[in-house]
Amino acid sequence: MPFRSSHWWLLFVLSLAATPGCRQSREAFAESPLEHPDLRLPVHDAARPARERPLFTRGDALSLPDDFPSDIYLPASYRIDSLMDRGALRVVSLRAPGRVSTLFEAARASMDGRGWKQTLAMRDASDGALLNYEKGDRAAVLSFSDDHDAGAVTMNVQLRSGAH
């Protein structure tokens, strides 16, 4: 049975448990106050009708926060579907044109070239891939899955930092 997008989310979550330091992150999350922190997420650009927004442009509907690390691989063109910022944990979900194999190799070359140490690489024969990296006190998980309906790749970037 080929992996489906839901399988990649499960692997994504399981990879969090395999990342060093996650126990502390889970404890910090469990002990965090119930009040919401001041998040730095940009506002959705609802002023432009959807038909006027191209499908793949850099930060079309949502933009990356100004403090998003510049040493993290992002495709040349993409559309951000969602952003989550929770203290030391940040997750970006985006769609990009192309194929999983092409984006996987581009991400691997980019992250390696920017000083990240690869701790896990996984691909399946059908439509998914996962990369885990560490650099200093930071960890990054990049997951890729074909979005056949949209003719694109869904890419999730999960960042964890001790100093975020």
For residue range 75-112, list pLDDT tens digits in order.
Answer: 999 999 999 988 889 999 999 999 999 999 999 999 99
Question: Is 120 domain-assigned?
Answer: yes
SS3 146: strand
39 within a domain of the structure (yes/no): no
Is residue 114 a part of any domain in this protein? Answer: yes
| Residue at 95 is within a domain | yes
- pLDDT bracket for residue 149 (50, 70, 90): confident
The predicted structure's pLDDT at residue 133 = 97
Confidence band, pLDDT 50/70/90 cuts, at residue 15: low
Assigned domain for 87 exists: yes
- Residue 45, in any domain of the structure: no
Q: How many residues does the chain have?
A: 164
pLDDT at residue 128, rounded to an integer: 93
For 30-85, what is each residue's pLDDT tens digit?
A: 555 555 444 444 444 444 344 443 333 344 468 888 889 999 999 999 999 999 98
- Contact 135/152 with Cβ under 8 angstroms? no
Task: Residue 16: give the domain boundaries.
Answer: 5-31+56-161
- 88 within domain boundaries: yes
DSSP-derived secondary structure letter, 92: E
C-alpha distance from residue 81 to each of 55, 64, 87, 90, 125 (Å) = 11, 11, 20, 14, 26
Using CB atoms within 10 Å of the CB of residue 44, give its burial: 0 to 12 exposed, 13 to 18 middle, 19+ buried.
Answer: exposed
Query: What CA–CA distance (Å, rounded) separates 90 from 102?
Result: 24
CATH number (domain holding residue 113): 3.30.310
Name which residue leads in pLDDT, 70 or 2. Answer: 70
Backbone φ, ψ for residue 92 (5° rounding): -120, 130
Total structural domains in the chain? 1
Tell me the C-alpha distance between 157 and 93, whole Å: 6
- In-domain check, residue 82: yes
3-state secondary structure (DSSP) of residue 119: strand
Between 107 and 151, the higher pLDDT residue: 107
